[in-house]
Amino acid sequence: MLLVAFAVPAFALAPHDGGAPCATAALREARLAGAGPAIEPPLRAAGDGLDTEHFHIEGYDYDATDEELAQVGAIFEAVWVREIDELGYAPPYGTDTGKFTVYIERLGRGLYGYADVERDGKTPYVSVNSDMSWTGLSTQAALEVTAAHEFFHGVQFGYDYWEPTWWMEASSVWMEEQVYDDIDDYLYYLSDDSWPDYVEISMTAENGWHEYGEGIWPMYLSAIHGGEGTIKTLWEAAATADAPGVFADHFGGSEAFEAVLLDFHVRNALGYAGYEEGADWWPVYRTDLGSDSTALPVTVTPDEWRPDYLGVNYFRLPMPESTPSSVEVAFTGGTTEAGDKVRWMVSVVGTDGTTWDSATELTRDTTTVTLGGFGSKWHEAWVLVGILSENTGVSHDAYDSALSYTKEPPEFTFTATLGPPETPEDTGGDTAATDTASDDTAEDTGGRGADCCKGDDPSPDPDCGCNGGGEEASLLALFALAAAARRRLAP
């Protein structure tokens, strides 16, 4: 047996060179703390700057040329057409009676721009950097993605100014791609040593960089679950619910959201199946458990980089080439440092490179997950371990996979073994999610499940006895295998 034992800016990776690319979150945090806007916009003088159909453009402590004003004005008008006229978002507050103000400002290296509200506390405005020479893009392209991103913040303010920062930034990164599909500046956030290398971090983390990489989540939702209009529907619901609760409401309850979350995790492992540009993204970080099937059985007890809330660990198992087998994973999950149990999601996934199948169990302590068809139908096996409880005992923002963190999510251990080829009809466990054994493909966008009992934990208790599973609440379809083997770089 083998034993394998907010302050923004906040990160620096070229070409962004010293800071988070958008200062919107920092300004909202300052306002929340009672400090008011960090940067007071000037009182606009009549005749200053340039007026377009929907925008007023002027310099802020910066003498913008006529050419700069015209360039920025034309870009923002194109963004208005896409975001408001074509995608159908509500125009920002104040634009029914006036123009949306865009300032051109010296922001230094590393910052593309920001959005905030004017002195009345509710009229949004945007500021863009006067110097984009450090971005690695042309000035035109840098201004275009900045306009798409920051103007969408102004749009978001009209739906819910206090929506969680991670969702505001993730969906604004997504919007860059909807407006300017060919620029692909967002690829930076899905590159080496960025989001794909730290998939265990909470989806809800706001640490100055991870939330931008989480733009992959709305990209997934729009690619697999209803198109680009899905994100608009979620923002319309933001008035009464915050993410991730708004996702559970949208999909019909916590069980259905958890099924969608698993679909997201597995697609990302197996070559970003279904994404338009997934082949250009860095493979998600995984642990390879041996070079061939003689390494099994294997016991895994990670001592670092364990998953936080809505994050995941990926493990790949070596499979025999032709001997029909099943994979059995015996799992034991630990508690927080305070002794509280959490809800674990444990999955075994099989793929042949084109289709896939999975078996999944939810547990607060121990469970066994079994999937057959290996060595005959499936030639690669993955084990996924995630946490569905928000209270993991750590700060989601501070848990950044660096060696300096002092608290970690709960421990877990599992043993993976090869068994007989038959797949048990009942994979065991009294949980809310079970295996469909349906050999699904990416075209299936999954079912809808009813919500379960709720207590102090925002997620339903898998042992609560209400809506205890069923095929409509079971885990969704995934396919394709393209992730290359790699090792995590030292933080």
**What is the rounded average pLDDT of the residues 325-332?**
96
Predicted confidence (pLDDT) per residue in 9-30, tens digit: 222 233 344 456 776 666 666 6
Question: At 196, which amino acid appears?
Answer: P
Strands 298-300 and 2-4: parallel
384, pLDDT greater than 60 = yes
Q: What's the confidence (pLDDT) of residue 118?
A: 85
- The 10 Å CB-count burial string (b at 16+, else e) for 273-307 is bbbeebeebbbbbbeebeeebebbebbbebeebbb
Q: Of 283 and 353, which is predicted with more confidence?
A: 283
Q: How far apart are CA 322 and CA 292, in angstroms?
A: 12
Note the residue count of the chain. Answer: 491
Give percent of the chain above pLDDT 90: 64
291, pLDDT greater than 90 = no
Q: Of 1 and 264, which is predicted with more confidence?
A: 264
Q: What is the dihedral of CA 250, 252, 258, 260, to 10 degrees?
A: -60
Query: What's the token pair of residue 337?
Result: 């440092």
Q: Which contiguous run of DSSP H or E holds residue 346?
A: strand 344-351
Q: What are the structural domain ranges in the chain?
A: 24-251, 286-473
The answer to whether 328 and 417 have CB atoms below 8 angstroms apart is yes
Give percent of the chain above pLDDT 70: 75
Q: How confident is the model at residue 354 (pLDDT cuts 50, 70, 90)?
A: confident
Using alpha carbons, list the distances in angstroms from residue 26 to 131, 395, 460: 21, 18, 33
The answer to whether 169 and 211 have CB atoms below 8 angstroms apart is yes
| DSSP letter, residue 283 | P
CATH architecture of structural domain 286-473: Sandwich (2.60)
Residue 17 CB contacts under 8 Å (≥ 6 apart), including other chains: 109, 110, 134
The answer to whether 155 and 76 have CB atoms below 8 angstroms apart is no
Q: What's the confidence (pLDDT) of residue 318?
A: 81
45, pLDDT greater than 60 = no
The answer to whether 102 and 114 have CB atoms below 8 angstroms apart is no
Q: How confident is the model at residue 31 (pLDDT cuts 50, 70, 90)?
A: low
The answer to whether 203 and 309 have CB atoms below 8 angstroms apart is yes
State the chain's mean pLDDT as an integer: 80
**Residue among 421, 433, 441, 435 nearest 469 (CA):** 433
Residue 260, CB-side half-sphere exposure with 13 Å CA sphere: 25
Predicted confidence (pLDDT) per residue in 108-142, tens digit: 998 999 999 887 888 999 999 999 999 999 999 99
Q: What's the confidence (pLDDT) of residue 400?
A: 66
**What is the rounded average pLDDT of the residues 244-260?**
96
Question: At 355, which amino acid appears?
Answer: T
91, pLDDT greater than 50 = yes
Q: What's the confidence (pLDDT) of residue 253?
A: 96
Handedness of CA 167, 172, 175, 176 (dihedral sign): negative
Predicted confidence (pLDDT) per residue in 389-409, tens digit: 999 999 998 886 555 566 789
The answer to whether 454 and 460 have CB atoms below 8 angstroms apart is yes
Q: What's the confidence (pLDDT) of residue 207?
A: 87
Q: How confident is the model at residue 375 (pLDDT cuts 50, 70, 90)?
A: confident
Query: What's the token pair of residue 307?
Result: 């998953």
CATH 1.10.390 fits 24-251, yes or no: yes
Predicted confidence (pLDDT) per residue in 257-289, tens digit: 999 999 999 999 999 999 999 999 999 999 999
Q: How confident is the model at residue 241 (pLDDT cuts 50, 70, 90)?
A: very high
Q: What's the confidence (pLDDT) of residue 120?
A: 81
104, pLDDT greater than 80 = yes
Q: Of 158 and 441, which is predicted with more confidence?
A: 158
Q: How far apart are CA 90 and CA 80, in angstroms?
A: 11
Lowest mean pLDDT among 291-300, 434-443, 474-483: 474-483
| DSSP letter, residue 81 | I
Query: What's the token pair of residue 255?
Result: 């069980």
